């Protein structure tokens, strides 16, 4: 009986602190999200929320957080809340808070109080040093809550008091940019919010190593979520801009999709499309796969099945990594110097194919080698035990088993080269066109060497990524150039990302099957 | 004494290819034809198709009569081609750069003032950094531009990327990890020209208006965009490095009473440090070689920003120099662009070798620990 009462008391005690701390963190999440969105100027100072201006609204949130955090810290010290703080927050925390205090004090002194260089430096150093010493010597509950709480209240005061307004402007010396209020306020708000949330999360667990873990997890989690949110927002933004123009005139019955099936005709009454560029990209990919993949797979077979670790294999590994990391523009230069003079003297589709093939080769080599390595040795041993020769084993046991992995590597590699612009910029070029390259129909036999000729291969051809670049540099027919560009970007994204999605999905599928 | 024959290159090659005497001739013909094809191609002769046909014929014949040996020889050729292609790239980029390398010498890295140490002139000054009319080419502004953008990109991608990888590898529950990791890998595939287009159309004007900048395009924005672009790659590779740390190490730490966060800080991250820094080095390599975003966003002026630290000014990077000027370059001007390629190539090669070394060390360390 007494046991339950005691627990109830404890539960009651902690839950007040816990509730307050989760309120601080929750309020922080809202304030942080709004600050980030207003940093992108999706919502501005003219937006009103619950009848008050955006910045005032956020500042009120921050003010409440600050008060809550200070309450949590002081409450823990005087024993209202049941916590288990360490002796000190640690030197790292102290140093970070010291630097933060230095920055805030320096900023306030130089920009808002208008002190000279010596004055603000002195004041900032004083405040920063005092904060550092204070935090380092204070017990953990006070040391990790008071500075963020005070900073939060202070920043909120600056915004609410009309000292830090959208009209604020700070032109740092030696930079040709001005930090305006509309950028500075969301920035300062989001940073302060993050630090205050960190303190709140720490208080939630009653400080100590458990508190530090929760606080760290909170920040790391917010970071991960923000990164993904920003990247996904970027994709959605491109889709929202591109879907409209890309589906202009689209109908299912009869099946019509002018943007994908039309060329660029420079005629206003016809929807301009990217059909030639899509065909060009397809031909580039086919050419690159034909030149790059067989060599890559053969080399992977030699490295895993025949060669022994030695100087030759070491050199090949260095060469492969070198090729893998060589910047695409250097491949372009190489193609410009080596291939173009020997393949007709002008930028051409076949040069583009070969250069992309050279780029694809190391990508596929590395993944194919991994795939062949992953085939269990039992397969080879069983085959050898049946008296099958080494090459027969490779051909009918190892390669089929490794094929899914090799294919995955090829798909991912193709996704990568399909979006490359820099190399084809130098060796293929090819602007906006009405007609697609007709590679198959242009083969003809001639009487002089090389006996086979193909006009289409020796001409420039358009390709999706290059077309996007051309849209930027040429500023096509000014009026709807931007729309055309967004639609091209959208189609390019769909093409490239579906290669990636298929490749990654098949990798996950085959890995699961291999492990099962 | 008995070891010596092993080092005889001919014997070694023969052992490598496991060649019998009867098919030696076939290989000789095939190899000779391939060499002939290459030489004729180098000489820019369309006759190269003749030996190429010979090579294909020899291969086809060998495939039907001695499939195993032919396959082995072909795979060997493919393997050797990696070294060959890297060599070819090196030679051609260097040879094209040579005229300007000879003309400029150390002044390729020259400032407008001579660089002197104790009164000894190390690098004579140049009149202007980049002048196609006087054929003066100093890469200093471009190197500075590449350095600054890479620095900004790394400052964004490295800490945020590693933290996100830590979340994915150590903190996130399995179902979150299994859905988010492939998503991040897909995001790594967004082509750079798409980022470039976004930077050119939206971000350039956004920063211009909201930071009241003097000009469209800045090193700051390029660094920002490249950093964002490199983030998914860094997250994905660092995540692989973190998950390759054996569980036994973590279990040991937890058994000692450490919290999970303490384990991450003091066990997992240090153990994965080599792999994580390899991830960052790879990311830096990508940032150095990133072309399209810089080309599209920057305003292309081949001078140092004034003052030097002004990251909001327009400069040029090595990559955007090549991509923006190749179109109207010929003669020495084109050769000068190749010198930029040489600097890029060497920088990235060094980064790649360093990353590889670190990775090998990590494998060695963790392999020994198991």
Q: Kindly report, residue by residue over B118-139, the tens digit of the pLDDT.
A: 777 777 777 778 887 888 888 8
Pairing relationship of beta strands B115-117 and B120-123 according to DSSP bridges? antiparallel
Nearest CA in chain B to A475: B201
B76 lies in the same domain as B143 = no
Percent of chain B with pLDDT over 90: 16
For residues B36 and B164, membership in a common domain is answered with no
Q: Which residues pair with B115 in a beta bridge?
A: B123
In this prediction, residue A454 carries a pLDDT of: 73
- Please judge whether B82 and A358 are an interchain contact, meaning their C-beta atoms are less than 8 angstroms apart: no
Domain ranges of chain A: 2-89+138-235, 276-515
Are B92 and B141 contained in the same domain?
Answer: no
What pLDDT, on the 0 to 100 scale, is given for residue A279? Answer: 86
Nearest-Cα residue of chain A relative to residue B288: A327
Token pair, residue A497, equals 């990302």
Write down the pLDDT at residue B127.
Answer: 76
Is residue B68 domain-shared with residue B147, that is, in the same domain?
no
Range B263-272 average pLDDT: 87
B41 shares its domain with B165: no
Is the Cβ of B63 closer than 8 Å to some Cβ of chain A?
no
What pLDDT is recorded for position B305?
Answer: 80
Q: Give bridge partners of residue A445 from the DSSP assignment.
A: A452
What is the interface pTM, i.e. ipTM, of the complex?
0.87
d(CA A213, CA B100): 58
Which residues contact residue A191 at a Cβ distance below 8 angstroms, ignoring those fewer than 6 apart? Answer: none
Q: Between B344 and A40, whose confidence is greater?
A: B344
Looking at residue B282, its pLDDT comes to 81
d(CA B359, nearest CA chain A) in Å = 12
DSSP-assigned beta bridge partners for residue A251: A256
What are the E-state strand segments in chain B?
115-117, 120-123, 130-131, 136-137
**B183, B193, B232, B324, best to mutate vs chain A, most A CBs in 10 Å:** B193
B18 and B82 fall within a common domain: yes
Yes or no, beta carbons of B95 and A497 under 8 Å apart: no
B107, B138 in Cβ contact below 8 A?
A: yes
C-alpha distance from B353 to closest chain A C-alpha (Å): 7
The domain of B18 spans 4-104
- To the nearest whole angstrom, how far is the Cα of A267 from the nearest Cα of chain B? 25
B354 belongs to a structural domain:
yes
Q: What is the mean pLDDT of residues B274-281?
A: 83
Residues in chain A closer than 8 A to B256 (CB atoms) = none
Interchain pair B168, A224: CB under 8 A: yes
Same-domain pairing of B39 and B173: no
B152 inside 8 A of chain A by CB:
no
For residue B164, is pLDDT > 90?
A: yes
B155 and B43, same structural domain?
A: no
pLDDT in tens, B4-51: 444 555 665 665 555 566 677 888 888 888 888 888 888 877 778 888
Q: How big is the CA angle at B129 (ends B124 and B131), to the nearest 5 degrees?
A: 115
CB A151 within 8 A of CB A195: yes
Residue A219: predicted pLDDT? 92
- As a whole number of angstroms, the distance between CA A155 and CA B288 comes to 39
Taking the C-alpha atoms of residue A161 and residue A329, their distance in angstroms, rounded to an integer, is: 53
Nearest Cα neighbor of A358 from A388, A322, A383 is: A322
Strands of A292-350, DSSP E:
none
Q: Using pLDDT thresholds of 50, 70 and 90, give the confidence band for residue B369.
A: very low
| Closest partner CB to B292 (pick from A41, A362, A469) | A469
Query: Do residue B40 and residue B169 come from a single domain?
Result: no
- This prediction has a pTM of 0.86
Number of domains in chain B: 2
What CA–CA distance (Å, rounded) separates B198 from B297?
Answer: 9
Nearest chain A residue to B306 by CA distance is A174
Task: Give the model's pLDDT for residue B1.
Answer: 39
Query: What are the residues whose beta carbons fall under 8 Å from the beta carbon of A155, sequence distance 6 or more?
Result: A59, A62, A104, A164, A188, A189, A192
**B180 — contact with chain A (CB < 8 Å)?**
yes
Confirm or reject contact between B309 and chain A (CB < 8 A). yes
Judgement on whether residues B306 and B193 belong to the same structural domain of the protein: yes
Q: Helix A181-204 crosses helix A2-39 at what angle (to 10 degrees)?
A: 160
How far, CA to CA in Å, does B208 sit from each of A37, A182, A192, B198? 19, 13, 26, 14
CA–CA–CA angle A419, A291, A411 (5° rounding): 45
**Region B340-351: what's the mean pLDDT?**
90
**Ranges of chain A whose pLDDT falls below 50:** 1-11
**Does residue B167 sit in the same domain as residue B96?**
no
Residue B30 to residue B23: CA distance in whole angstroms: 11
Nearest to A393 by CA among A410, A406, A371, A376: A376
Flag if A330 and B338 touch (Cβ within 8 Å): no
CA-CA-CA-CA torsion sign (A232, A234, A236, A239): negative
d(CA B235, CA B224): 16
Lowest-confidence pick of A364-378, B66-80, B209-223: B209-223
Between the alpha carbon of residue A163 and those of residues A56, A112, A179, A181, A433, the distances in Å are 12, 8, 15, 10, 57
Q: Mean pLDDT across the stretch B222-248? A: 88
For residue B188, what is the domain's CATH number?
1.10.3720.10
Domain assignment present for residue B117? The answer is no
Are B365 and B248 in the same domain?
yes
Q: What's the topology of domain A276-515? A: MetI-like fold (1.10.3720)
- The whole-number average pLDDT for the span B75-95 is 91
Kindly state whether B200 is in contact with chain A, defined as any CB-CB distance less than 8 angstroms. yes
Contact A316 B285 (CB under 8 A): no
In the A/B pair of chains, how many CB contacts fall below 8 A? 305
- Partner A, chain B 100-119, Cβ-Cβ below 8 Å: none
Report in angstroms the alpha-carbon separations of B272 from A29, A416, B97, B257, B263: 31, 27, 40, 21, 12
Q: Residue B45 domain-assigned?
A: yes
Q: A325 contacts in B (CB within 8 Å)?
A: 282, 285, 289, 348-349, 351-352, 355
* Placement of tokens 């639609």 in the chain: A487
């Amino acid at each position: 009986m007494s046991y339950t009462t005691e627990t109830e008391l404890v539960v009651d005690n902690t839950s007040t602190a816990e509730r307050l701390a989760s309120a601080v963190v929750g309020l922080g999440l809202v304030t942080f999200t709004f600050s980030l969105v207003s940093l992108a100027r999706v919502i501005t100072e003219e937006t009103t929320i619950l009848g008050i201006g955006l910045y005032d609204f956020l500042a009120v949130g921050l003010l409440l957080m600050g008060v809550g955090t200070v309450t949590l810290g002081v409450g823990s010290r005087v024993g209202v809340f049941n916590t288990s703080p360490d002796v000190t927050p640690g030197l790292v925390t102290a140093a970070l808070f010291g630097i933060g205090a230095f920055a805030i004090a320096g900023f306030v002194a130089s920009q808002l109080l208008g002190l000279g260089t010596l004055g603000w430096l002195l004041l900032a150093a004083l405040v920063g040093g005092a904060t550092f010493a204070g935090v380092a010597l204070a017990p953990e509950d006070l040391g990790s809550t008071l500075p963020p709480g005070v900073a939060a209240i202070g920043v909120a005061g600056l915004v609410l008091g009309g000292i830090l307004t959208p009209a604020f402007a700070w032109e740092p010396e030696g930079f040709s940019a001005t930090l305006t209020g509309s950028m500075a306020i969301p920035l300062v708000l989001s940073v302060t919010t993050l630090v205050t949330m960190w303190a709140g999360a720490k208080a939630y667990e009653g400080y100590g190593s458990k508190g530090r873990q929760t606080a760290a997890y909170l920040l790391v989690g917010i970071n991960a979520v923000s990164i993904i949110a920003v990247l996904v927002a970027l994709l959605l933004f491109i889709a929202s801009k591109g879907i409209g123009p890309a589906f202009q005139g689209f109908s299912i019955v009869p099946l019509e999709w002018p943007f994908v099936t039309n060329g660029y005709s420079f005629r206003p009454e016809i929807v301009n499309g990217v059909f030639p560029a899509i065909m060009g990209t397809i031909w580039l990919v086919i050419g690159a796969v034909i030149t790059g993949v067989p060599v890559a797979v053969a080399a992977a077979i030699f490295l895993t099945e025949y060669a022994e670790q030695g100087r030759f294999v070491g050199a090949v590994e260095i060469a492969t990594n070198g090729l893998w990391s060589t910047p695409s523009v250097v491949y372009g230069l190489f193609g410009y110097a080596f291939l173009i003079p020997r393949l007709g003297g002008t930028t051409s589709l076949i040069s583009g194919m070969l250069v992309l093939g050279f780029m694809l080769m190391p990508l596929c080599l590395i993944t194919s080698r991994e795939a062949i390595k992953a085939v269990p040795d039992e397969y080879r041993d069983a085959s050898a035990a049946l008296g099958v020769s080494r090459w027969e084993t490779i051909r009918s046991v190892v390669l089929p088993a490794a094929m899914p992995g090799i294919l995955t590597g090829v798909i991912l590699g193709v996704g990568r080269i399909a979006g490359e612009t820099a190399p084809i910029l130098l060796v293929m070029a090819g602007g906006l066109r009405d007609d697609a390259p007709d590679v198959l129909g242009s083969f003809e036999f001639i009487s002089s060497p090389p006996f086979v000729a193909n006009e289409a291969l020796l001409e420039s051809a358009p390709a999706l990524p290059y077309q996007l670049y051309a849209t930027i540099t040429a500023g096509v027919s000014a009026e709807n150039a931007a729309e055309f560009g967004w639609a091209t970007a959208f189609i390019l994204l769909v093409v490239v990302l579906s290669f990636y999605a298929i490749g990654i999905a098949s990798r996950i599928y085959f890995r699961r099957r291999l492990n099962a | 004494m008995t070891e010596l024959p092993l080092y005889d290159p001919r014997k070694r090659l023969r052992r490598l290819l496991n060649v019998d005497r009867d098919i030696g001739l076939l290989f000789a013909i095939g190899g000779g034809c391939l060499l002939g094809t290459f030489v004729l191609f180098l000489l820019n002769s369309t006759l190269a198709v003749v030996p190429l046909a010979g090579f294909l014929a020899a291969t086809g014949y060998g495939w039907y009569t001695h499939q195993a040996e032919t396959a082995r020889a072909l795979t060997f050729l493919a393997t050797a081609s990696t070294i060959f292609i890297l060599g070819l790239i090196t030679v051609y980029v260097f040879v094209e750069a040579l005229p300007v390398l000879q003309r400029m010498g150390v002044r390729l890295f020259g400032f407008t003032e001579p660089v002197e140490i104790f009164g000894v002139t190390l690098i004579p000054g140049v009149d202007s950094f980049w002048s196609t009319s006087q054929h003066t080419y100093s890469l200093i502004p471009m190197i500075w531009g590449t350095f600054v953008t890479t620095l900004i990109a790394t400052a964004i991608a490295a800490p945020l990327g590693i933290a996100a990888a830590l979340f994915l590898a150590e903190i996130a529950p399995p179902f979150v990890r299994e859905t988010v990791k492939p998503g991040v890998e897909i995001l790594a595939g967004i082509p750079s020209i798409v980022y470039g287009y976004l930077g050119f159309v939206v971000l350039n004007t956004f920063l211009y208006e909201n930071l009241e900048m003097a000009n469209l395009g800045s090193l700051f924005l390029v660094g920002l965009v490249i950093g964002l672009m490199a983030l998914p790659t860094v997250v994905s590779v660092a995540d692989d490095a973190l998950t390759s740390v054996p569980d036994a190490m973590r279990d040991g730490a937890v058994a000692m009473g450490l919290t999970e966060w303490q384990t991450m800080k003091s066990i997992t991250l240090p153990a994965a440090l080599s792999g994580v820094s390899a991830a960052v080095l790879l990311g830096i390599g990508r940032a150095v070689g990133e072309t399209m975003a810089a080309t599209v966003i920057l305003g292309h002026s081949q001078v140092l920003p004034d003052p030097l630290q002004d990251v909001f000014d327009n400069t040029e990077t090595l990559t955007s120099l090549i991509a923006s000027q190749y179109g109207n370059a010929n003669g020495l001007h084109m050769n000068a662009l190749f010198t930029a390629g040489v600097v890029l190539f060497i920088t990235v090669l060094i980064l790649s070798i360093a990353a590889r070394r670190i990775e090998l060390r990590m494998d060695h360390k963790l392999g020994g620990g198991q």
